[in-house]
DNA sequence: ATGTATGCAAAGTATTTGCACAATC
DNA sequence: GATTGTGCAAATACTTTGCATACAT
């Protein structure tokens, strides 16, 4: 990934804070919070205001370059998206499908924090029903109760 | 689940706020935040201070009855733990194993929020390496680079 | 009666925002 | 030179905490 190219392609100006933040994100292997990113920048001799860090991070998230999540300590963690791998969910009742980003980055970070393990591969299968079918089912269940 | 029994067994006093909060948690099918729980209590005619809600929720989390997580909007969500189903991770290198709570509740809530789907079943397989082996590997990789 | 729980108000913490100045294109 | 980005300080929103009072056992 060429940082300058990435910024230019997204219509963003090339500035030291942005280049530094992207470089830090790229080189880290696990999730980082805003303050930690700022500290890393300081170690590189670049003083960036925390609000600039947050603004840059928000920007990158909107551009779908970055994933942002909270592991439970009320602090956001940020990781560059590696693959844009997605999951398809199919409703077991009406067979309608929807797509979503693979949720495993969050899980992998969580597992790493809790156990120290780094996940190298995952296989995830999900079975579920869509909102409409779930509601229909619930309505049936309650009318049956009344009718019985 | 008998609420009074549950409280008694954990050495907690039986109070209206606690009974109400537990009843609300038990009857809801998806994650709720503290403010929502308080509003539900008000609907039942019970006025509970928000700090009491938070304190009760913290208590239940410590007792491993409740799961607490942030779905990305800087607000905690709470769900009663259904099954105490756990996952075992085995290091692919040294074969050491560790256990952890199944991380899927959070993901299921997230999926529900993003797509509307309710997950009924999941199957998750993970392959990974423990911290020590990951560090050893990294050391080898860097010494090889230098040696080459 | 004793220890525990609650309400209230104040503090805390990560994040966001408004505005003036500075840098990039 | 026009537009976009940054720093600073103040604001925000959720959560936590200290303390006096009230309640459960």
pLDDT digits (tens, 9 = 90+) for B30-55: 889 999 999 999 999 999 999 999 99
Q: Could you say which of A81, A110, A126 is where a domain stops?
A: A81
Q: Which residue is nearest to the C1' sugar atom of D8, using CA?
A: A49
With beta carbons under 8 A apart, name residues in chain B contacting A120: 92, 127-129
User: Are residue B88 and residue B61 in the same domain, yes or no?
Assistant: no
CATH number of the structural domain spanning residue B92:
3.30.1490.190
Domain of A116, in residue numbers: 83-148
User: Are residue A69 and residue A95 in the same domain, yes or no?
Assistant: no
Average pLDDT over residues B52-70: 93
User: Are residue A138 and residue A93 in the same domain, yes or no?
Assistant: yes
Residues 8-47 of A with CB under 7 A from strand C: 8, 13-16, 33-35
Alpha carbon distance B102, B119 (integer Å): 14
For strand D, is any atom closer than 7 Å to the CB of B42?
A: no
User: Are residue B32 and residue B89 in the same domain, yes or no?
Assistant: no
Do residues B127 and A122 make contact, with C-beta atoms less than 8 angstroms apart?
yes
As a 3-state breakdown, chain A gives helix, strand, coil percent values, each rounded to 5, of 50, 25, 30
A118, β-bridge pairs: B129
Q: Could you say which of A41, A62, A81 is where a domain stops?
A: A81
User: Are residue A88 and residue A106 in the same domain, yes or no?
Assistant: yes
- The SS3 of residue A126 is strand
Alpha carbon distance A12, A62 (integer Å): 13
Q: Cα A7–A13–A16 angle (5° rounding)?
A: 85
User: Are residue A90 and residue A133 in the same domain, yes or no?
Assistant: yes
- Please say if the pLDDT value at position A140 is more than 80: yes
B20 vs B28, residue with greater confidence: B20
Averaged pLDDT of chain A: 90
With beta carbons under 8 A apart, name residues in chain A contacting B103: 107, 110-111
User: Are residue B7 and residue B68 in the same domain, yes or no?
Assistant: yes
For strand C, is any atom closer than 7 Å to the CB of A54?
A: yes
User: Are residue B15 and residue B72 in the same domain, yes or no?
Assistant: yes
pLDDT digits (tens, 9 = 90+) for B105-142: 888 888 998 899 999 988 888 889 999 998 887 788 77
Q: Which of A12-26, A38-52, A91-105 has the lowest mean pLDDT?
A: A91-105
For strand C, is any atom closer than 7 Å to the CB of B20?
A: no
B34 vs A: CB within 8 A: no
Alpha carbon distance B40, A1 (integer Å): 49
Average pLDDT over residues A25-38: 92
Do residues A57 and A66 make contact, with C-beta atoms less than 8 angstroms apart?
yes
Q: What percent of chain B has pLDDT over 70?
A: 96
* pTM check: above 0.75: yes
The pLDDT of residue B148 is: 45
Alpha carbon distance B132, B135 (integer Å): 5
Alpha carbon distance A85, A83 (integer Å): 5
Element (H, E) at A56: helix A50-62
User: Are residue A6 and residue A26 in the same domain, yes or no?
Assistant: yes
User: Are residue B74 and residue B94 in the same domain, yes or no?
Assistant: no
- Please say if the pLDDT value at position A148 is more than 50: no
Residues 71-100 of A with CB under 7 A from strand C: 74-76
The pLDDT of residue B141 is: 77
Q: First and final CA of chain A: distance in angstroms?
A: 64
User: Are residue A61 and residue A89 in the same domain, yes or no?
Assistant: no
For strand D, is any atom closer than 7 Å to the CB of B69?
A: no
Do residues B1 and B27 make contact, with C-beta atoms less than 8 angstroms apart?
no
Query: What is the total count of domains within chain B?
Result: 2
Q: Could you say which of B81, B106, B130 is where a domain stops?
A: B81
User: Are residue A73 and residue A87 in the same domain, yes or no?
Assistant: no
Question: Token match 């309505």: residue?
Answer: A139
The gap between A58 CA and D25 C1' (Å) is: 53
CATH number of the structural domain spanning residue A61:
1.10.10.10
């Amino acid at each position: 990934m060429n940082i300058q190219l990435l910024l230019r392609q997204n219509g963003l100006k090339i500035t030291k804070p942005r280049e530094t933040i992207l470089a830090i994100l790229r080189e880290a292997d696990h999730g980082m919070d805003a303050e930690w990113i700022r500290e890393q920048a300081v170690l590189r001799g670049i003083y960036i205001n925390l609000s600039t860090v947050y603004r840059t991070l928000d920007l990158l998230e909107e551009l779908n370059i970055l994933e942002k999540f909270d592991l439970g300590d009320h602090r956001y963690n940020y990781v560059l998206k590696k693959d844009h791998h997605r999951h398809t969910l199919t409703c077991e009742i009406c067979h309608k499908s929807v797509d979503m980003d693979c949720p495993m980055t969050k899980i992998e970070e969580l597992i790493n924090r809790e156990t120290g393990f780094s996940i190298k591969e995952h296989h995830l299968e999900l079975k579920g029903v869509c909102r409409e079918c779930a509601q229909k089912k619930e309505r049936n269940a309650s009318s049956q109760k009344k009718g019985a």
